[in-house]
Amino acid sequence: MKKTLMVAALTGVFASAAHAQSSVTLYGLIDAGITYTNNQRGHSNWQMTSGSVNGSRFGLRGAEDLGGGLKAIFTLENGFGINDGTLKQNSRLFGRQAFVGLSSNDFGAVTLGRQYDSMVDYVGPLALTGTQYGGTQFAHPFDNDNLNNSFRINNSIKFQSANYGGFKFGGLYGFSNQAAGFANNRAWSAGASYNWGGLNVAAAYLQLNSNGATSAAAAFNSGGAVSGDNTFFASRQQTWGAGANYAFGPATVGLVYSQTNLHGLAGISQGASGIPGGIGLPTNSAQFQNFEANARYALTPALSLAAAYTYTRSNLNANHIHWNQANLQAAYALSKRTDVYLQGVYQAANEDSIVDANINGVGGASSNNKQVAVTAGLRHRF
């Protein structure tokens, strides 16, 4: 009897020790709000919105200690609309992230799956659209630089280094997965950041390649690096950016520059633009340049204020277009996991623009060159 009890006790100890070496965490964020838009195709609109700042999601992340500072890691992250319960990211089950890999304390991590590119990883945190201080509605026109994560990279292998005295770097390659077309819808990116005291600087590059097709339908093979949620249909997209921010006391100020060059542009996708049917364009080259200045301030431990101004200029189908966008947000934390927010966005394109004003995430473009959106929302993290 005593031996049986001892064996049972030891079994419990070893089971606990084995369990302690592995962990799986359920996490998520729910963002729901009421948005007023002054003009959507000539009409004002009150609507319930999901993810006006941060996309609603839930996920699982886990790690298994393999010894010697090496771990097996994974993340499965779903995106959904809290207002109607539907799947986001083109109805994918784990559309936000899905990857598995190995992580080393000394060297970094190598992961495989559907993942963020280096613009999102390194430059995104320096722009308010890539953070909790602005998010979806603060995105640059059409989210042309992907700093708001409009698309992820499928079939990708990714490396992210360990932190070497504040310096980090990484890169990603997304396969086309097409036997007869190695370059038909592939992607690669690279980036780096450096943090020293209150200073944080970063730069990154992203390139997407298709087969050079001249129609929106044929520009990307469906099983390639981007599919269903890509912003542009083009034979080649080159996006790069750099930024810096500096934190002093309760304040942080920052500057971000990004540029996207498009070759063989056939159209802007419906999913990215929010314009019914998307924008169809003759095959041509195009360029977007974004200049963002931002600031945030912790007025109290619970109350934060954030503001950003973005000037975007573009040569789109031989038309010169520029946008001015002003963004404001106030957020009040009810607890460590729950906050309420109020934010407003004003966007104006030049009067002779071939596209109307179109704030990201409000569900439709204006009938003219100006649009205003105001959102009151609630966020809960778990």
Q: What CATH number should be reported for the domain holding residue 76?
A: 2.40.160.10
Q: What is the pLDDT of residue 274?
A: 36
Mean pLDDT of 326-353: 96
Q: Place 282 in a pLDDT band, splitting at 50, 70 and 90.
A: low
Mean pLDDT of the chain: 89
How far is residue 288's CA from residue 267's CA, in Å, rounded to a whole number? 14
Q: Is residue 332 in some structural domain?
A: yes
Q: Place 18 in a pLDDT band, splitting at 50, 70 and 90.
A: very low
Q: Is residue 273 in some structural domain?
A: yes
Q: What is the pLDDT of residue 2?
A: 46
Q: Is pLDDT above 70 for 211? A: no
Q: What is the pLDDT of residue 353?
A: 79
pLDDT 10s digits, 165-190? 999 999 999 999 998 888 889 999 99
Q: Is residue 12 in some structural domain?
A: no
Q: Place 277 in a pLDDT band, splitting at 50, 70 and 90.
A: very low
Q: Is pLDDT above 50 for 267? A: yes
Q: What residues make up the domain containing 60?
A: 22-381
Q: Is pLDDT above 80 for 379? A: yes
Mean pLDDT of 228-236: 86
Q: What is the pLDDT of residue 275?
A: 36
Q: Considering its fold, how many domains does the chain have in total?
A: 1
Q: Is residue 227 in some structural domain?
A: yes
Q: What is the pLDDT of residue 11?
A: 46
Start-to-end Cα distance in the chain: 45
List the one residue out of 218, 207, 94, 71 whose CA is nearest residue 146.
207
Q: Is pLDDT above 80 for 202? A: yes
How far is residue 227's CA from residue 223's CA, in Å, rounded to a whole number? 7
Q: Is pLDDT above 80 for 97? A: yes
Q: What is the pLDDT of residue 16?
A: 44
List the one residue out of 67, 120, 116 whose CA is nearest residue 95.
116
pTM of the model: 0.89
Q: Is pLDDT above 90 for 93? A: yes
Mean pLDDT of 356-382: 95
Of the two residues 255 and 6, the one the predictor is more confident about is 255
Mean pLDDT of 160-165: 97
Q: Is residue 359 in some structural domain?
A: yes
Return the minimum-mean-pLDDT range out of 48-52, 301-305, 355-359. Answer: 355-359
Q: What is the pLDDT of residue 327?
A: 98
Q: Is residue 205 in some structural domain?
A: yes
Q: What is the pLDDT of residue 194?
A: 98
Q: Is pLDDT above 80 for 213? A: no
Q: Is pLDDT above 50 for 315? A: yes
Q: Is residue 4 in some structural domain?
A: no
Q: What is the pLDDT of residue 260?
A: 97
Q: Place 63 in a pLDDT band, splitting at 50, 70 and 90.
A: very high
Q: Is pLDDT above 70 for 223? A: yes
Q: Is residue 253 in some structural domain?
A: yes
